[in-house]
Structure 1
Amino acid sequence: MNTPAKTFPIWARLSLATNFILIFAIALLIARQQNLTAFFGLIPNPSTIHPNSQSKAQAAALPVVPKLGQRHKLSYWQWVDILKQEAKVVAQKNPPRLTILAGDSLSLWFPSELLPKDRNWLNQGISGEKTTGLLNRLDLFNSTNPETIFVMIGINDLIRGVSDETILDNQQQIVRYLRKNHPTAQIVVQSILPHEVERVTWEGKEKLLAIPNSRIRQLNQQLEDIAKTEGVKYLDLYPLFANSQGNLRPELSTDGLHLSQQGYLVWSSAIRLYSEMELLIGVRG
């Protein structure tokens, strides 16, 4: 008797197609960016040129390099208070297409000039944040009316020795809280990014290198399962940032953990492409 061919559900095929298109598009972006970097490397630094020898037209032609977000040195509770006030102002204004970044320093330092311009953004990232901290302060933006909430959290838990079980449980509680308090919003769980191995200069190098990137990949697989179970979206950024060894691409990082301008350009492009494809799927659906 012939065994019927195994069929994949529609959501699985859409997920595979979305990830494939994202990876392909960002790969082209990385290649193009590397070529541009090599080209711009031939252009002299404007600070080394005498003012009288450079016209305004020449100055305007020089490449504009986006800056990283401000690295404010504040206490945790000072940050919480600032985020609370910012969320309060946004709730009062109620801007259209509000999109929230919730997470740690990777979200906090997202350069505003690289965020998609067709949305209004509220950044709720705190440097050094763990899943427990984010879970406990989600109520800061309860009064806002977001269209989308992007969540990235977990790397600091790993650095500080938190178990995978606790990380996943907190992630699930975060998703459930957001679904309950923002029922009309699209919740997007983003994968934990890899770290670099060979050229790490971050101050917590030893703790970071003690975390195998293979462990992060396994955690991401479980995060994807949680997203499917809870009925929210999952954006797998890991393949876009990893090299052939599964480590963070050196050109996408400043210290082996945090992202460079090019890294944020990749992330921004992924968000933009993902949003456009979700819109297209919604229209076709």
Structure 2
Amino acid sequence: MALPLQPYPQLRSALHRLQGVPPWALLSLVLNGLLFITVVVVLRQLSQAGDAMLPQANAFAADRHVPIAPFEPELGVRHSLDYEQWVALLAAEAEAAVAIDAPRQTILLGDSLTLWFPASMLPGRKTWLNQAISGENSTGLRDRLYLLDNTSPEAVFIMVGINDLIWGGSAADLVYNVRKMVDYLRQTHPQTRVVVQSILPHGGETSTWEGRDRLLTVSPDLIQTVNGQLKLVAVETGADYLNLYPLFVNGEGYLRPDLTTDGLHLNQNGYMVWRTALALFNEAD
């Protein structure tokens, strides 16, 4: 039964103010609220289970099930999320988007570079779903695409591969996995724009990232070769290719120091470059 508005002047006033708010904005707020509730519930369950730390997982984790490089919040008890729990959290996010039929869904897939993309910097009037896991490689990402089966994205952006290369994975296997991802997404979401993004350069000798020695085994030539193969995959599968590499590389073939925090991850300037590229790419659609 509908509530009469006359006895509730505050409610009537609030509803009047909401009349000028675009529907996409309201639904985006609802989605963000659901995701926040999901995070709180998961962390509370972990706290009751006696876990001790929350990782901002990083690409240096050899064992995908053992979180390292913990993130320590300013206040409160530290918690832990392993890889399966991150996947469960992303599954809940995808289900929330489906439940409210979030408009103009655009999905980001990848590793820590994507995960730490500031939500406030993502462009356009879209419902952005960040489905990245830090430390992710192409095999892990390929195997969890089923989480998106019931979503209705306008576009899916994929950036993955640096972790494969850092840990000595085969470039051929990486390219094969990306091809399988595109094939799967085009089969399950035939109307969705699938965008393969290039792998970014790294900082080389100037890097301060804790896995610097492994990073130095990945040559600029290898990254460019893999990017060429990823572009070919996009062409052959009917996907789009967003070549971010030239925007981030310096004259020596390494990641520009003004765009990075440690030679691997991006700072705010780096994300602004990426944001601009996404905005221009979306406008060109």
2:275 to 268, 271, 275: 268
SS in 2 for 1:151: strand
Partner of 1:86: 93
Q: Is the 8 A contact 2:202 2:263 kept in 1?
A: yes
Q: Which runs of 5+ in 1 are unaligned?
A: 1-69, 279-285
Task: Count residues with an aligned counterpart.
Answer: 209
2:112 corresponds, among 105, 119, 123, to 105
Cα distance in 1 for partners of 2:101, 2:153 equals: 9
Residue matched to 2:185: 178
CA distance in 1 between partners of 2:117 and 2:162 (Å): 16
| Per-residue Cα deviation, 1:201-252 (whole angstroms, up to 9, x for no partner) | 1111000011101100010001101100001100000000001111100011
Residues 125-144 of structure 1: pairs in structure 2 closer than 5 A: 125-144=132-151
User: Aligned partners of 2:231, 2:163: CA distance in 1, in Å?
Assistant: 19
- The letter of the residue matching 2:149 is N
Alignment-mate amino acid for residue 224 of structure 1? K
Matching residue's letter, 2:233: I
Any idea what the Cα deviations from partners look like across 1:16-52, whole Å, max 9, x if unmatched?
xxxxxxxxxxxxxxxxxxxxxxxxxxxxxxxxxxxxx
Equivalent-residue separation in structure 1 for 2:235 and 2:134 (angstroms)? 28
Mapped partners of 1:94, 1:245: distance in 2: 46
Structure 2 unaligned runs (5+)? 1-54, 57-70, 72-79
* 1:19-38 alignment runs, 5 A limit: none
Q: State, as a whole percentage, how many aligned pairs show the same letter.
A: 50
Q: 2-side partners of 1:91 and 1:251: how far apart?
A: 39
**Aligned-pair distance for 1:198?**
3.0
Alignment of 1:228-243 (within 5 A): 228-243=235-250
Structure-1 residue corresponding to 2:169: 162
User: How big is the shift at 1:190?
Assistant: 0.2
Q: Letter of the aligned partner of 1:213 in structure 2?
A: P
Which residue pairs with 2:222 in the alignment? 215
Matched, 1:151 2:158: yes
SS at match of 1:259: coil
More helix by share: 1
For normalisation by structure 1, the TM-score amounts to 0.72
CA distance in structure 1 between the partners assigned to 2:233 and 2:151 by the alignment: 25
The answer to whether the aligner puts 1:226 opposite 2:233 as a matched pair is yes
Distance (Å, rounded) in 2 between the aligned partners of 1:74 and 1:213: 33
TM-score, normalised with respect to structure 2: 0.72
Deviates more, 1:218-227 or 1:196-205: 196-205
Q: Relative contact order, CA 8 A, sep 6+: which one is greater?
A: 1
Q: CA RMSD in A?
A: 1.2
Counterpart Cα distance in 2 of 1:179 and 1:84: 20
Q: CA deviation at 1:117?
A: 3.5
